Structures are given as C-alpha cells and as structure tokens.
Amino acid sequence: MQHTSEALRLEGKRIAFVPTMGFFHEGHLGLIRKAKEIADVCVTSLFINPTQFAPNEDFTHYPRDTARDMQLAEVSGCDYFFNPSSEDMYPHRFATSIIVEKLDSILEGQVRPTHFRGVTTVVAKLFNIVRPHCAIFGQKDFQQLVILKRMVQDLNMNIDIIAAPIARDADGLAMSSRNTYLSADERRTALSLSRSLLSAKTAFEDGERNPMLLQEIIRRKLDEAGIYKVDYIAVVDSETLETLETTIERQDAVIALAVRIGRTRLIDNMILKDSD
Amino acid sequence: MQHTSEALRLEGKRIAFVPTMGFFHEGHLGLIRKAKEIADVCVTSLFINPTQFAPNEDFTHYPRDTARDMQLAEVSGCDYFFNPSSEDMYPHRFATSIIVEKLDSILEGQVRPTHFRGVTTVVAKLFNIVRPHCAIFGQKDFQQLVILKRMVQDLNMNIDIIAAPIARDADGLAMSSRNTYLSADERRTALSLSRSLLSAKTAFEDGERNPMLLQEIIRRKLDEAGIYKVDYIAVVDSETLETLETTIERQDAVIALAVRIGRTRLIDNMILKDSD
C-alpha cells in the first residue's frame, strides 16, 4: 500500500483516505463518495483495531462482513481497499503509542481510558502507510475528530482532516455498525437519543444559552424513554472540548451524549450553531 | 520546509536528514558529510528541544552558536538548514506525545524518565516536516538510535535510520557538545571512559563472554580514575536493549556507560563484535 501511495503521489495524484472498522452502512459509503469527489484516488481501509477496545468491550463480537464491504466500497468509488491483519499492524516487539493528553481522558475517555490512545496510534500508522492528502471521518465520533485534528497539527502531519455530517436513518437514529446489536424494542428506545438532542438544539435556536438547561431537556427525554444508564450529556466547545458550564457564547459548541441500552453503548451529538 | 521537501520529493530527489541540537563538533559534521554522500539533498536541523530536558537539566545552559553552526553545516555539504523556534514547534494547546514503552524507561530512561518521550515526539515532528528518505544519527546515543528505529518501524514511517560511528578526539574522548562544560582536569579524568570501554572490548575479543566480568573491568578503571558517580555500566543486546546477564551469545552486543564528572554527565559505548 505504501509503495502504491508513494507512486500515486509522484504521479501528482491527490489521495483521499477513509479509515474504517468495516460493516458498512450508508454513513461509511457517504464518506467514500465524498472522498472520490474531492480527490483523484480514494483509499479505504478496513481494520478492526484491537488496541482501541478495552478487554471488557466488544472486539471479538464486533460485526464483520469483509466481502460485502469490499463490494460496497467499490461501487461507492473506492479505488484501493486496504485490509491489513493484526499481525501486520502489531508485529512482535511493537511498543509505540501516541497520546493526546487531556483531550483523551474526558467524555468517552472517562469511560474508555485506553480507547483514544489506540485510535491515534493506529490512525498515525495508517496515515504513514496510505500517505493521503486528506482523510474523512464521520462527525458521529466528534471527540475522535477533535483528537485526530490535534494529533495531525501537533505532529506536523500534512493531512487535511475532514468532518462529514452524521448519517441518520429516516427516523433520526444515527447510523452505527453497533445498531445491529439492538433488538426491535431497544431500537425504538434509541430514537430518544436524536430526538432529545433535537429538542435541545431547537431550544438553543430559540435562544436558550444555558448549557445546564439544555442538558436537562435531554435528561428528561431520555428518562421518559426509560434510559437511565447515561455515561454523559455534555455541552462542550467544539475545538477544545472544554465543558461550557454557564453559558454558550461561541457559535461552535457541540452537545453530546453516551448511553447504554441493554448491553449496547450508543453515542450521538449535534452541533449547536445559530442559523444566521 | 515541508513545502520545500515535498517539492524536492516530487522532483525525485532523495533527502537525507541530520537532526541536531547544534554547537557542532566533528561528529555532527561527519553526519552531514555522510548525508550528502548517500543522498541528493542534505537537510540539517538545529533545534534545542526543551521537552527532552528535565527541569533539573542543562536546557538553559546548553551551548549555542547558531551562526557558526550554519557556516560549518554549509561547508560540510548541508543544502537546507532548518532552525525552528520553540513557539513554532510547540504552539499553544500542544498536547501530543509519542512513547516507546519499556525501551524508554531503562538505562538513560531510569535517570532521565521523560527524556525519550521528548526525543521521539520532536523527531517525529521533524520527520513529518522534513520528509526525508533517510536520517543519520550518531552511535553515541545508541539507546536513542534503538528507540527511534523502533518508532519508525512501529509507526510505519518509511525512513531509513542510519547509525554513524562515534567520532572521538585523538585521545579517545567521545565528542559531545557537553564536553565544553569540562575543566582541563575533568577532561583528563573523562579519558577513562573510552579507555575502560576499550579494555572491556579487548577482553571480549580475547574471548571473555561474561558480561559481569566485562562490567567489572570498567568499574575498576573508572574507580582508579576517581569516577565514583556511575549511573550505569551495562552490557545489552544492541537491538532489544535487553541486559545480557550470564553470557554474550549473539555477536551484536553493546557495552554502555553513563557517569558524572563534576557537574557534567557523560555517556559512551562500544559495540562488542567478534572481529572475524
């Protein structure tokens, strides 16, 4: 792959990269189509990265269908499909990690303390192998986006990190490979995630600037839906991830949440922006 | 610099890189000459990296003479001299570190626990800015060499790490910018470093394979010279840095030491290799 990419660069081709863990839904395919739109060559990787899962998490059960993914990637415009093995990525004596301090220990990092170290390390490896000019990530993992932008800037990687809007089912549920874990009942319950975020967003657009009140709107809606296992509901600065506690002054805030429904952990978020 | 390097790569030029902290001696200039020999373009950086010094170390007193360094680099064949500021390298909100576990906490790492994290992070940044095909480092910092090779391999950086032999004064003292701290008396005392290593090496070549006995040869010589502040004397595998405790079986071992003479900390090492 590295050889191919270096040759493409020497030909002056612009490479867009979509790193994934596979089991594609419309969200992934949208990233691939966007990549093909903005560059000459689209590279997609499929690697279910063991180091970003904690021992108690769903690595072994994470859904897989590589043959289908390859086909879907191709029809969506992917030129190169990179699918390394764990042994290729983490050979004997592997010892290196990249950490992005502070940003990696809040929100998701509080519940998943080693998660982002796994993400930044594997993404840096993939970047060095694929040598893209730009890489596209979904806004759904918005903390991941912030951390990867930080890493790229701090380490002087010459790569544009591009955020793509969250892809949602018609009823509003944010697409996720993990939605496959949900029973029909649980899926119905999960609709309260996007609906509660939308209520808060509407309140914001109507002028509500108190983060605590916006969080309260969400908490009540989740409660009504019977979701009591809430890891966090947070209103944060979209660049620094600093919690906004008293008022939302800047226009780029994000309201984010993580909950558990049955055995499944789901996240969702919305950008709070004045529509002027 | 990044822009220049990308343009050079597109022209098909091979870039060799010599990262330094300046105050050049013959060792540095040898690296620059070697770079120019093996590549089309030699890039030298001068950056006294604050993050690899502990608060109690000699960052503020580290010797500096940038004008002289630039001149010496140029006459030695350097094509591009990269001299960024600390503010350029570590802007506000900088938060990313690269760690190479285990290797970074032994030998030098025991005495300087945050040193290698500073080195790996700044070298990765410089690599991403300079985008070299190969980079040349002196064998004097042999643990640094091992750690950087590990990082480059682990993170799939497509860069050859090349080791250059230790440059020594005529009397055997390993060249170091820190030698400038030594008084005439201390410098005389410091000669026992290379001499004791040479005695151990001679014993090895005469068939001595017991690491403990080789270390003992050195300790005795240092003792005779009045050097009592010994951070370590170690016989290690030259790739894994594992301490060889009972016997030297492989041919690539290194014997290394670190001592303090007055207020100056000095290191030196020799490769143990059968001369067949």
Q: Note the pLDDT tens digit of each residue in A189-235.
A: 999 999 999 999 999 999 999 999 999 999 999 999 999 999 999 99
Predicted local confidence at residue B252, as pLDDT: 85
- DSSP three-state, residue B100: strand
Q: Are residues B125 and B51 in the same domain?
A: yes
Partner-chain contact A157 B128, CB within 8 Å: yes
Q: Please tell me which of the candidates B6, B95, B120 has its beta carbon nearest to residue A103.
A: B95
Give the residue-averaged pLDDT of A164-173. 97
Q: Are residues B160 and B220 in the same domain?
A: no
Predicted local confidence at residue B66, as pLDDT: 98
In a domain, A43, yes or no: yes
Chain A nearest-CA distance from B124, in A, is 7
Predicted local confidence at residue A137, as pLDDT: 98
Rounded Cα distance between A123 and B156, Å, is 11
Asked whether the predicted pLDDT for residue A276 surpasses 60, the reply is no
In a domain, B266, yes or no: yes
Q: Are residues B22 and B152 in the same domain?
A: yes
Structure tokens at B2: 């990044």
For residue B269, give the nearest of B196, B184, B211 by alpha carbon. B196
Q: Which strands form B253-261's sheet, in the order they lie side by side?
A: B230-237, B253-261, B264-272
- The pairing of strands B134-138 and B15-20 is parallel
Partner-chain contact A93 B128, CB within 8 Å: no
Predicted local confidence at residue B251, as pLDDT: 66
Q: Are residues A185 and A150 in the same domain?
A: no
Give the residue-averaged pLDDT of A224-253. 92
Q: Are residues A123 and A75 in the same domain?
A: yes
> Considering only alpha carbons, which residue of chain A is nearest residue B155?
A125
Cross-strand partners of B100: A96
Rounded Cα distance between A154 and B98, Å, is 11
Q: Are residues A22 and A158 in the same domain?
A: yes
Band (A251; pLDDT cuts 50, 70, 90) = low
Give the residue-averaged pLDDT of B45-64. 95
Predicted local confidence at residue A270, as pLDDT: 97
**In Å, how far are A71, A178, A252, B10, B167 from A66, measured between CA atoms?**
9, 16, 37, 35, 54
State the best of A98, A104, A157, A242 to mutate against chain B, taking most chain B CBs within 10 Å: A98
State the best of A119, A126, A130, A154 to mutate against chain B, taking most chain B CBs within 10 Å: A154
Rounded Cα distance between B136 and B100, Å, is 20
Q: Are residues B60 and B187 in the same domain?
A: no
Q: How many domains does chain B have?
A: 2
Predicted local confidence at residue A273, as pLDDT: 86
- The DSSP string of A164-221 is EPPPB-TTSPBP-GGGGG--HHHHHHHHHHHHHHHHHHHHHHTT---HHHHHHHHHHH
> Considering only alpha carbons, which residue of chain A is nearest residue B103?
A95
Which of B130, B164, B198 is at the close of a domain? B164
Band (B274; pLDDT cuts 50, 70, 90) = confident
> Considering only alpha carbons, which residue of chain B is nearest residue A96?
B100
Q: Is A60 in the B-facing interface, judged by CB distances under 8 Å?
A: no
Q: Note the pLDDT tens digit of each residue in B70-100.
A: 999 999 999 999 999 999 999 999 999 999 9
Asked whether the predicted pLDDT for residue B276 surpasses 60, the reply is no
Asked whether the predicted pLDDT for residue A240 surpasses 80, the reply is yes
Q: Note the pLDDT tens digit of each residue in A5-45.
A: 999 999 999 999 999 999 999 999 999 999 999 999 999 99
> What predicted TM-score, i.e. pTM, was given to this entire model?
0.96
Rounded Cα distance between B224 and A267, Å, is 67
For residue A192, give the nearest of A171, A221, A213 by alpha carbon. A221
For the question of residue A25 being annotated catalytic, the response is no
Query: CB under 8 Å to B95, separation ≥6 — which residues?
Result: A100, A101, A102, A103, A150, A154
Give me the helix-helix angle, B66-76 and B26-38, nearest 10°.
40
Question: B12: how many CB neighbours lie within 10 A of its CB?
Answer: 8
Q: Note the pLDDT tens digit of each residue in A92-142.
A: 999 999 999 999 999 999 999 999 999 999 999 999 999 999 999 999 999
Predicted local confidence at residue A183, as pLDDT: 97
**In Å, how far are A143, B47, B51, B157 from B41, measured between CA atoms?**
40, 19, 28, 19
Predicted local confidence at residue B249, as pLDDT: 84
Q: Are residues B85 and B184 in the same domain?
A: no
Range of the domain at A39: 2-164
In a domain, B276, yes or no: no
For residue A248, give the nearest of A271, A219, A220 by alpha carbon. A271
**In Å, how far are A48, A59, A69, B132 from A45, measured between CA atoms?**
10, 17, 10, 25
Q: Are residues B84 and B26 in the same domain?
A: yes
Least confident of A111-125, B14-28, B173-187, B235-249: B235-249
Least confident of A45-59, A148-162, A239-253, B220-234: A239-253
In a domain, A185, yes or no: yes
Asked whether the predicted pLDDT for residue A155 surpasses 80, the reply is yes
Tokens 């403990």 — which residue?
B212
Quote the ipTM score: 0.96
**Which residue of the set A3, A28, A61, A133 is catalytic?**
A28
Q: Are residues B145 and B100 in the same domain?
A: yes
In a domain, A276, yes or no: no
A130, A15 in Cβ contact below 8 A?
yes
% chain B with pLDDT above 90: 95
Predicted local confidence at residue A275, as pLDDT: 66
